[in-house]
Structure 1
Protein backbone atom coordinates (compact mmCIF):
# COMPACT_ATOMS: atom_id res chain seq x y z
CA UNK A 1 0.00 0.00 0.00
CA UNK A 2 2.83 2.40 -0.75
CA UNK A 3 0.46 4.68 -2.68
CA UNK A 4 -1.71 5.26 0.41
CA UNK A 5 1.07 6.75 2.56
CA UNK A 6 0.76 10.44 3.28
CA UNK A 7 3.64 12.67 2.21
CA UNK A 8 6.54 12.91 4.66
CA UNK A 9 6.70 15.49 7.42
CA UNK A 10 9.72 17.33 5.93
CA UNK A 11 7.79 17.76 2.68
CA UNK A 12 4.74 19.08 4.57
CA UNK A 13 6.89 21.52 6.56
CA UNK A 14 8.60 22.77 3.38
CA UNK A 15 5.19 23.24 1.75
CA UNK A 16 3.93 25.13 4.81
CA UNK A 17 6.88 27.49 4.40
CA UNK A 18 5.83 28.20 0.80
CA UNK A 19 8.28 26.09 -1.24
CA UNK A 20 6.45 25.77 -4.57
CA UNK A 21 7.99 22.42 -5.55
CA UNK A 22 7.11 20.98 -2.14
CA UNK A 23 3.54 22.24 -2.41
CA UNK A 24 3.18 20.58 -5.83
CA UNK A 25 4.66 17.32 -4.49
CA UNK A 26 2.39 17.48 -1.42
CA UNK A 27 -0.75 17.94 -3.50
CA UNK A 28 0.28 15.14 -5.83
CA UNK A 29 1.22 12.81 -2.96
CA UNK A 30 -2.01 13.52 -1.07
CA UNK A 31 -4.27 12.87 -4.05
CA UNK A 32 -4.81 9.09 -3.56
CA UNK A 33 -5.82 9.53 0.09
CA UNK A 34 -8.03 12.54 -0.58
CA UNK A 35 -9.71 10.64 -3.39
CA UNK A 36 -10.28 7.65 -1.08
CA UNK A 37 -11.85 9.94 1.56
CA UNK A 38 -14.12 11.49 -1.05
CA UNK A 39 -15.24 8.13 -2.42
CA UNK A 40 -16.15 6.96 1.07
CA UNK A 41 -18.12 10.13 1.88
CA UNK A 42 -19.77 11.27 -1.35
CA UNK A 43 -22.75 9.49 -2.85
CA UNK A 44 -21.66 9.55 -6.47
CA UNK A 45 -18.34 9.03 -8.15
CA UNK A 46 -18.68 12.40 -9.88
CA UNK A 47 -19.25 14.19 -6.58
CA UNK A 48 -16.28 12.33 -5.10
CA UNK A 49 -14.01 13.42 -7.96
CA UNK A 50 -15.20 17.02 -7.66
CA UNK A 51 -14.84 17.02 -3.87
CA UNK A 52 -11.34 15.57 -4.10
CA UNK A 53 -10.30 18.20 -6.63
CA UNK A 54 -11.76 21.00 -4.49
CA UNK A 55 -9.95 19.65 -1.41
CA UNK A 56 -6.64 19.55 -3.30
CA UNK A 57 -7.16 23.13 -4.47
CA UNK A 58 -7.74 24.18 -0.86
CA UNK A 59 -4.62 22.25 0.18
CA UNK A 60 -2.62 24.07 -2.51
CA UNK A 61 -3.92 27.49 -1.53
CA UNK A 62 -3.99 27.14 2.26
CA UNK A 63 -1.22 24.73 3.28
CA UNK A 64 0.37 27.56 5.24
CA UNK A 65 -2.68 27.59 7.54
CA UNK A 66 -2.10 24.00 8.69
CA UNK A 67 -0.92 24.31 12.29
CA UNK A 68 0.71 20.91 12.77
CA UNK A 69 2.28 18.90 9.98
CA UNK A 70 1.00 15.68 11.61
CA UNK A 71 -2.61 16.88 11.23
CA UNK A 72 -2.65 16.80 7.43
CA UNK A 73 -4.85 13.69 7.17
CA UNK A 74 -7.48 14.94 9.61
CA UNK A 75 -7.44 18.41 8.02
CA UNK A 76 -7.99 16.97 4.57
CA UNK A 77 -10.68 14.63 5.89
CA UNK A 78 -12.60 17.65 7.27
CA UNK A 79 -12.23 19.54 3.98
CA UNK A 80 -13.49 16.56 1.97
CA UNK A 81 -16.33 15.97 4.44
CA UNK A 82 -17.44 19.59 4.20
CA UNK A 83 -17.29 19.53 0.41
CA UNK A 84 -19.32 16.30 0.25
CA UNK A 85 -21.91 17.79 2.63
CA UNK A 86 -22.08 20.94 0.52
CA UNK A 87 -22.70 18.85 -2.56
CA UNK A 88 -25.38 16.81 -0.75
CA UNK A 89 -27.18 19.99 0.29
CA UNK A 90 -26.98 21.31 -3.26
CA UNK A 91 -28.43 18.08 -4.61
CA UNK A 92 -31.29 18.19 -2.11
CA UNK A 93 -32.12 21.80 -3.15
CA UNK A 94 -32.08 21.11 -6.89
CA UNK A 95 -34.25 18.39 -8.32
CA UNK A 96 -31.97 16.30 -10.45
CA UNK A 97 -33.40 14.16 -13.26
CA UNK A 98 -34.20 10.59 -12.37
CA UNK A 99 -31.83 8.17 -14.13
CA UNK A 100 -33.26 5.33 -16.20
CA UNK A 101 -31.68 2.69 -13.96
CA UNK A 102 -33.17 1.62 -10.65
CA UNK A 103 -31.55 3.63 -7.84
CA UNK A 104 -32.37 4.71 -4.32
CA UNK A 105 -34.77 7.60 -3.95
CA UNK A 106 -33.40 11.12 -3.64
CA UNK A 107 -34.44 11.07 0.01
CA UNK A 108 -32.50 7.85 0.67
CA UNK A 109 -29.49 9.29 -1.14
CA UNK A 110 -29.64 12.54 0.87
CA UNK A 111 -29.99 10.61 4.13
CA UNK A 112 -27.00 8.43 3.21
CA UNK A 113 -24.94 11.56 2.55
CA UNK A 114 -26.05 13.14 5.81
CA UNK A 115 -25.14 9.92 7.64
CA UNK A 116 -21.70 10.08 6.03
CA UNK A 117 -21.39 13.62 7.31
CA UNK A 118 -22.35 12.53 10.83
CA UNK A 119 -19.75 9.75 10.71
CA UNK A 120 -17.11 12.19 9.46
CA UNK A 121 -18.01 14.64 12.25
CA UNK A 122 -17.79 11.86 14.84
CA UNK A 123 -14.35 10.85 13.53
CA UNK A 124 -13.19 14.47 13.49
CA UNK A 125 -14.28 14.84 17.15
CA UNK A 126 -12.04 11.97 18.32
CA UNK A 127 -8.86 12.71 20.26
CA UNK A 128 -5.95 12.95 17.76
CA UNK A 129 -4.31 9.66 18.83
CA UNK A 130 -7.54 7.71 18.34
CA UNK A 131 -8.43 9.57 15.11
CA UNK A 132 -5.03 8.73 13.54
CA UNK A 133 -5.43 5.03 14.33
CA UNK A 134 -9.02 4.92 13.07
CA UNK A 135 -8.21 6.76 9.84
CA UNK A 136 -5.13 4.66 9.09
CA UNK A 137 -6.83 1.36 9.89
CA UNK A 138 -10.45 1.77 8.80
CA UNK A 139 -10.30 4.46 6.13
CA UNK A 140 -6.89 3.98 4.56
CA UNK A 141 -7.02 0.21 5.04
CA UNK A 142 -3.56 -0.32 6.53
CA UNK A 143 -2.90 -3.51 8.46
CA UNK A 144 -2.82 -3.35 12.24
CA UNK A 145 0.90 -3.97 12.32
CA UNK A 146 1.56 -1.21 9.77
CA UNK A 147 -0.52 1.26 11.77
CA UNK A 148 1.20 0.30 15.02
CA UNK A 149 4.65 0.63 13.45
CA UNK A 150 3.85 3.96 11.77
CA UNK A 151 2.61 5.44 15.04
CA UNK A 152 5.33 3.89 17.22
CA UNK A 153 2.85 1.78 19.20
CA UNK A 154 2.69 -1.82 20.24
CA UNK A 155 0.03 -3.81 18.40
CA UNK A 156 -1.94 -4.12 21.65
CA UNK A 157 -1.86 -0.34 22.20
CA UNK A 158 -2.95 0.26 18.61
CA UNK A 159 -5.84 -2.21 19.00
CA UNK A 160 -6.87 -0.56 22.25
CA UNK A 161 -6.95 2.90 20.66
CA UNK A 162 -8.80 1.55 17.65
CA UNK A 163 -11.38 -0.10 19.91
CA UNK A 164 -11.87 3.14 21.91
CA UNK A 165 -12.14 5.17 18.70
CA UNK A 166 -14.74 2.84 17.17
CA UNK A 167 -16.71 2.77 20.44
CA UNK A 168 -16.63 6.58 20.66
CA UNK A 169 -17.84 6.96 17.07
CA UNK A 170 -20.57 4.38 17.66
CA UNK A 171 -21.60 6.14 20.88
CA UNK A 172 -21.70 9.54 19.15
CA UNK A 173 -23.81 8.19 16.31
CA UNK A 174 -26.27 6.46 18.63
CA UNK A 175 -26.41 9.33 21.13
CA UNK A 176 -27.33 11.99 18.56
CA UNK A 177 -29.54 10.41 15.89
CA UNK A 178 -31.19 13.75 15.02
CA UNK A 179 -28.08 15.94 14.97
CA UNK A 180 -27.68 15.72 11.22
CA UNK A 181 -28.53 18.88 9.29
CA UNK A 182 -32.24 18.98 8.69
CA UNK A 183 -32.98 16.86 11.75
CA UNK A 184 -34.61 13.46 11.87
CA UNK A 185 -38.26 13.15 12.71
CA UNK A 186 -38.15 9.37 13.11
CA UNK A 187 -36.90 9.23 16.68
CA UNK A 188 -36.72 5.92 18.45
CA UNK A 189 -38.85 5.82 21.53
CA UNK A 190 -38.32 3.12 24.03
Structure 2
Protein backbone atom coordinates (compact mmCIF):
# COMPACT_ATOMS: atom_id res chain seq x y z
CA UNK A 1 0.00 0.00 0.00
CA UNK A 2 1.26 3.46 -0.83
CA UNK A 3 1.93 5.59 2.23
CA UNK A 4 0.98 9.22 2.00
CA UNK A 5 2.59 11.48 4.57
CA UNK A 6 0.69 14.38 6.06
CA UNK A 7 2.07 17.85 5.37
CA UNK A 8 4.70 18.91 7.89
CA UNK A 9 4.08 21.08 10.90
CA UNK A 10 5.72 24.11 9.24
CA UNK A 11 3.16 23.92 6.41
CA UNK A 12 0.28 23.74 8.89
CA UNK A 13 1.65 26.68 10.90
CA UNK A 14 2.09 28.79 7.75
CA UNK A 15 -1.41 27.88 6.51
CA UNK A 16 -2.89 28.82 9.89
CA UNK A 17 -1.13 32.18 9.57
CA UNK A 18 -2.85 32.77 6.22
CA UNK A 19 -0.17 31.81 3.69
CA UNK A 20 -2.15 30.80 0.58
CA UNK A 21 0.65 28.69 -0.96
CA UNK A 22 0.99 26.68 2.27
CA UNK A 23 -2.77 26.28 2.45
CA UNK A 24 -2.78 24.85 -1.08
CA UNK A 25 0.01 22.42 -0.13
CA UNK A 26 -1.88 21.48 3.04
CA UNK A 27 -5.15 20.75 1.24
CA UNK A 28 -3.37 18.83 -1.52
CA UNK A 29 -1.34 16.82 0.99
CA UNK A 30 -4.32 15.95 3.18
CA UNK A 31 -6.58 14.99 0.27
CA UNK A 32 -5.41 11.35 -0.25
CA UNK A 33 -5.67 10.56 3.46
CA UNK A 34 -9.08 12.17 3.86
CA UNK A 35 -10.37 10.49 0.72
CA UNK A 36 -9.14 7.03 1.80
CA UNK A 37 -10.76 7.45 5.23
CA UNK A 38 -14.05 8.61 3.69
CA UNK A 39 -14.16 5.60 1.37
CA UNK A 40 -13.61 3.28 4.31
CA UNK A 41 -16.41 4.88 6.33
CA UNK A 42 -19.18 6.13 4.06
CA UNK A 43 -21.94 3.92 2.70
CA UNK A 44 -21.38 4.72 -0.96
CA UNK A 45 -18.51 5.98 -3.11
CA UNK A 46 -20.52 9.11 -3.95
CA UNK A 47 -21.06 9.90 -0.27
CA UNK A 48 -17.36 9.29 0.38
CA UNK A 49 -16.28 11.73 -2.32
CA UNK A 50 -18.74 14.34 -1.03
CA UNK A 51 -17.62 13.86 2.59
CA UNK A 52 -13.95 14.16 1.64
CA UNK A 53 -14.67 17.30 -0.37
CA UNK A 54 -16.64 18.80 2.52
CA UNK A 55 -13.75 18.13 4.93
CA UNK A 56 -11.28 19.82 2.59
CA UNK A 57 -13.56 22.82 2.13
CA UNK A 58 -13.85 23.19 5.90
CA UNK A 59 -10.07 22.83 6.19
CA UNK A 60 -9.62 25.59 3.63
CA UNK A 61 -12.09 27.91 5.37
CA UNK A 62 -11.26 27.23 9.01
CA UNK A 63 -7.62 26.18 9.20
CA UNK A 64 -6.91 29.32 11.23
CA UNK A 65 -9.16 27.99 14.00
CA UNK A 66 -7.08 24.80 14.40
CA UNK A 67 -5.49 25.04 17.84
CA UNK A 68 -2.78 22.39 17.62
CA UNK A 69 -1.01 21.42 14.44
CA UNK A 70 -0.89 17.80 15.61
CA UNK A 71 -4.69 17.71 15.74
CA UNK A 72 -5.09 18.18 11.99
CA UNK A 73 -5.70 14.51 11.13
CA UNK A 74 -8.16 13.83 13.94
CA UNK A 75 -10.00 17.09 13.17
CA UNK A 76 -10.37 16.20 9.49
CA UNK A 77 -11.36 12.62 10.26
CA UNK A 78 -14.02 13.84 12.69
CA UNK A 79 -15.44 16.09 9.94
CA UNK A 80 -15.50 13.16 7.50
CA UNK A 81 -17.12 10.87 10.08
CA UNK A 82 -19.80 13.42 10.89
CA UNK A 83 -20.47 14.04 7.21
CA UNK A 84 -20.78 10.30 6.49
CA UNK A 85 -23.18 9.92 9.43
CA UNK A 86 -25.20 12.93 8.31
CA UNK A 87 -25.52 11.52 4.81
CA UNK A 88 -26.53 8.08 6.11
CA UNK A 89 -29.21 9.65 8.34
CA UNK A 90 -30.59 11.83 5.56
CA UNK A 91 -30.80 8.80 3.25
CA UNK A 92 -32.87 6.90 5.80
CA UNK A 93 -35.08 9.80 6.78
CA UNK A 94 -35.93 10.82 3.23
CA UNK A 95 -39.69 11.05 2.81
CA UNK A 96 -39.77 8.61 -0.07
CA UNK A 97 -37.24 6.50 -1.86
CA UNK A 98 -37.00 7.33 -5.55
CA UNK A 99 -38.51 4.66 -7.78
CA UNK A 100 -35.71 3.00 -9.73
CA UNK A 101 -36.01 2.90 -13.51
CA UNK A 102 -35.57 -0.87 -13.39
CA UNK A 103 -36.83 -3.20 -10.66
CA UNK A 104 -34.37 -4.23 -7.98
CA UNK A 105 -32.58 -7.49 -8.69
CA UNK A 106 -33.70 -8.93 -5.36
CA UNK A 107 -35.16 -7.78 -2.08
CA UNK A 108 -31.99 -8.96 -0.32
CA UNK A 109 -29.83 -6.30 -2.00
CA UNK A 110 -31.84 -3.40 -0.53
CA UNK A 111 -31.84 -5.10 2.87
CA UNK A 112 -28.10 -5.74 2.69
CA UNK A 113 -27.48 -2.11 1.78
CA UNK A 114 -29.50 -0.91 4.78
CA UNK A 115 -27.61 -3.27 7.09
CA UNK A 116 -24.27 -2.13 5.67
CA UNK A 117 -25.18 1.48 6.36
CA UNK A 118 -26.17 0.69 9.93
CA UNK A 119 -22.88 -1.17 10.40
CA UNK A 120 -20.98 1.85 9.08
CA UNK A 121 -22.68 4.06 11.67
CA UNK A 122 -21.90 1.60 14.46
CA UNK A 123 -18.23 1.41 13.46
CA UNK A 124 -17.95 5.20 13.18
CA UNK A 125 -19.55 5.67 16.59
CA UNK A 126 -17.26 3.04 18.13
CA UNK A 127 -14.18 4.71 16.65
CA UNK A 128 -15.35 8.11 17.90
CA UNK A 129 -15.85 6.70 21.40
CA UNK A 130 -12.24 5.52 21.68
CA UNK A 131 -9.82 7.58 23.76
CA UNK A 132 -7.98 10.05 21.50
CA UNK A 133 -4.60 8.30 21.76
CA UNK A 134 -6.08 4.93 20.79
CA UNK A 135 -8.25 6.45 18.06
CA UNK A 136 -5.26 8.12 16.39
CA UNK A 137 -3.28 4.87 16.33
CA UNK A 138 -6.25 2.84 15.05
CA UNK A 139 -7.10 5.33 12.31
CA UNK A 140 -3.52 5.69 11.12
CA UNK A 141 -2.72 1.98 11.23
CA UNK A 142 -5.97 0.26 10.22
CA UNK A 143 -7.82 2.87 8.18
CA UNK A 144 -4.96 4.75 6.54
CA UNK A 145 -2.84 1.63 6.22
CA UNK A 146 0.35 3.25 7.50
CA UNK A 147 3.14 1.00 8.73
CA UNK A 148 3.61 0.50 12.46
CA UNK A 149 6.96 2.29 12.42
CA UNK A 150 5.46 5.27 10.55
CA UNK A 151 2.58 5.53 13.03
CA UNK A 152 4.93 5.27 16.00
CA UNK A 153 7.24 7.94 14.57
CA UNK A 154 4.37 10.28 13.67
CA UNK A 155 2.97 10.08 17.19
CA UNK A 156 6.34 10.17 18.95
CA UNK A 157 5.89 6.70 20.43
CA UNK A 158 8.02 3.61 20.65
CA UNK A 159 6.87 0.75 18.45
CA UNK A 160 5.91 -1.21 21.58
CA UNK A 161 3.77 1.65 22.90
CA UNK A 162 2.09 2.04 19.50
CA UNK A 163 1.34 -1.70 19.38
CA UNK A 164 -0.07 -1.61 22.91
CA UNK A 165 -2.42 1.27 22.08
CA UNK A 166 -3.46 -0.41 18.84
CA UNK A 167 -4.19 -3.66 20.69
CA UNK A 168 -6.33 -1.83 23.29
CA UNK A 169 -8.19 0.06 20.55
CA UNK A 170 -8.90 -3.13 18.59
CA UNK A 171 -10.02 -4.95 21.74
CA UNK A 172 -12.37 -2.09 22.62
CA UNK A 173 -13.76 -2.10 19.06
CA UNK A 174 -14.34 -5.88 19.18
CA UNK A 175 -16.11 -5.57 22.53
CA UNK A 176 -18.22 -2.63 21.32
CA UNK A 177 -19.17 -4.26 18.03
CA UNK A 178 -19.63 -7.74 19.44
CA UNK A 179 -16.85 -9.41 17.45
CA UNK A 180 -14.73 -12.43 18.44
CA UNK A 181 -12.42 -11.92 21.40
TM-score by length of 1: 0.80
Matched, 1:46 2:40: no
Match of 1:21 in 2: 21
Moved over 3 A (4+): 96-108
Q: In the aligned structure 2, how far is the partner of 1:142 from the partner of 1:64?
A: 27
> Between Structure 1 and Structure 2, how many residues are aligned?
174
Verify the 8 A CA contact 1:137 1:144 in the aligned structure 2: yes
Matched, 1:168 2:172: yes
Match of 1:10 in 2: 10
Q: CA deviation at 1:2?
A: 6.3
Q: In the aligned structure 2, how far is the partner of 1:73 from the partner of 1:107?
A: 34
* Secondary structure class of the residue paired with 1:4: coil
Q: 1:54 to 1:147 in 2, by over 3 A?
A: same
Q: CA deviation at 1:97?
A: 4.1
User: Which of 151, 154, 166 is residue 155 of structure 2 equivalent to?
Assistant: 151
Q: CA deviation at 1:98?
A: 4.0
TM-score by length of 2: 0.84
Alignment of 1:106-185 (within 5 A): 106-174=110-178
Q: Where do 5+ consecutive residues of structure 2 fail to align?
A: none
Matched, 1:33 2:33: yes
What is the root-mean-square deviation of aligned Cα atoms in Å? 2.2
